[in-house]
Chain A
Amino acid sequence: MPLSQHVQPDLSDARLARVWGGVKGRLEASPPRRASGWVWASVSLGCAAAIAAAGVHFLVPRGSASGSALENAALETASDALSVTLLDGSTLSLDSRTRVQVAGGNAQAVALNVARGRVSCDVTHRPGRSFVVRASGVEVRVVGTRFSVQDDLRADGARVAVIVERGVVEVTSARHPGQVTRVAAGQTFSEWVPTEPPAPSETSSSTAARTPSAPPEVLDKPATPEPSSSSEATRAAHDLTSREMLDAANSARRAGDARGAADAYEQLLKKFPTDGRAGLAAFELGRLRMDRLADMGGAVQPLERAVRLAPGSGFREDAMARLVTAYAAVGRGADCTRARDAYLASYPAGVHRDSVARGCGSP
């Protein structure tokens, strides 16, 4: 056995909390920075647990009208989302399985080609600056707004959707030259772009008729559809990343849809049981069941899971305190006592100390 076991610091909770407080404070004061070299290349290669969204800054040279470092760059995601922030504060958020080519990227003109997937853009208005997003021949010209462009590729064509959340965009399509469609906040532009058959000279069979593209639609739909029922949240869940599922569940909870939110948290836990967000999802599920769905019994298992999955989390203390309440409510006296003792041992000066100490009804 190494000698190190005989030279150990005296570690108290207070000392740990003090040092963590120092780390946290300094982290908040100064954001993470790049190590030397190509950080993201080294991260992406061989990374086997890429399940959280990451963010990258790239800088548009100020006032530079010449070719920029962004020219010909490509952004691509696999199962993760990605956000990119420009110097002017505009952000691009790529969903999973998305590829965006930067056709032009300088201070005066930004042009993006969406090869597949979905990119959401929150664009800062800059006078004189052109911001264009293209997908399958559809061009979206931006003034200053928040919108997303989705290019859903299929075997027989692509559905391009432009959803505007704020402001106005102008959309043109190669299939309808000369026609400019203004899409305002709350509206969705949608166009089906069929796959072009090969030119007659390239085929050995008889000439194939060109299928005319369907006219584009502008629909008055909410830019960000919200799960209004538990069944909608459930149906949509299987296509989403854990981050998206957590966002959807949180949105439903904030909108007052407790049942929908609970279902979404459950779906996240089923689909991503070991995800970094699972502990938080379990905690929120437990809280919802206790506070809004009057289901104390149903709150026990998610709260236990929250405590187990996120041992160092900020919500662990709450989860442990709530477990005491839940156990007491369903008559599990021995579990209540054990949970109470565990809380008091972990958080002797905790905010819930007094209520937890009385929580099981007996000392």
Chain B
Amino acid sequence: MQPRPIRALSSPQVRPAPERNRTTRSLAALSLVKMAPSQPQATRSGAGPTDAALVVAARGGEAWAQEALFRRHARMAFGLAHRFLPRDLDTDDLVQDSFLYAFQRLASLENPQAFAAWLGSIVVRTAGKRLRRQRLLTRLGLRRFEPIDLDAIVSRAAPPDAAAELRALYAVLEAFPPDERIALLLRRVEGFEIPQIATYMGISQSTVKRRLGAAEARLARYSRGELA
């Protein structure tokens, strides 16, 4: 079984090592691998391979490891995607795009054991891009606005107060700028703290606070009937 080559470098960005520092620089010049000694990953009995083991196998071109990662984390990804883009077709597309992006860039994941959180951040950022594109297309008249079916989103088993909060939120979210919408969903629905939101969105904590502040203020104006 030959290791499958993975396209990782492009020639124009590779620089030859300077003569005076051949050994050290040469290792860095092509970013060639000096792999750490393998550490056997302990697994709980019956838990199967760790994410780290699956990531490493997937990097090696093992298709079964990619599928294993997909099946292990699909529910999480679908859940996140659904809460950002509640329409089924949008959700499926977002999940597909996110996994594709993750598998194509698996080599850039520095901590293979953090695959789940990394994937989550990909879903969040890809959702942001989609929402921005949808908003632009809607403004340009190239996309028909479709209101969210609140009955379909909120579980029938949800307690009344939770259902009311979710309905109130989703009823107005379509009108929010995408970045505020995402920050608000991560805070109110996912229950993330500021640092986690910052990591998932790839922004600073102060930016998260600013966006959350704006989103909460907008939400308050909607609840007071100041905005339609």
Contacts and interface: CB of A to CB of B under 8 A. Distances in A.
Interface residues of B, number: 101
Given A19-B92, A54-B6, A76 B27 contact: yes
Interface string B31-73: 1111111111111001011101111110111111111111110
A74 interface: yes
B10 A51 contact: no
Given A43-B107, A49-B113, A275 B34 contact: no
B23 A74 contact: yes
Contacts of B36: 44, 46-48, 50, 78
A92 B92 CA distance: 40
A37 B8 CA distance: 10
B116 interface: no
B49 A274 contact: yes
B3 interface: yes
Interface stretch (A65-73, A166-174, A262-270): A65-73
Interface string A93-120: 1000000010000000000000000000
B165 interface: yes
Contacts of B189: 2-4, 7
A73 B59 contact: no
Interface stretch (B14-22, B131-139, B175-183, B207-215): B14-22
Given A8-B155, A9-B91, A47 B14 contact: no
> Which of A6, A49, A50, A52 has the most CB atoms of chain B within a 10 A radius of its CB?
A49
Contacts, number: 326
A35 B7 CA distance: 10
Nearest to B70: A20
Nearest to B52: A49
Interface of A: 1-9, 11, 15-16, 18-20, 22-24, 26-27, 30-35, 37-59, 61, 67-85, 91, 93, 101, 243, 246-247, 250, 272-280, 308-315
Interface of B: 1-11, 14-17, 19, 22-23, 25-43, 46, 48-50, 52-57, 59-72, 74-75, 78-79, 81-83, 86, 88, 91-92, 95-96, 99-100, 103-113, 153-155, 157-159, 162-163, 165-166, 188-191
Given A72-B17, A313-B64, A43 B108 contact: yes
Contacts of B34: 44, 76-78
5 contacts: A34-B8, A34-B9, A48-B36, A243-B60, A312-B72
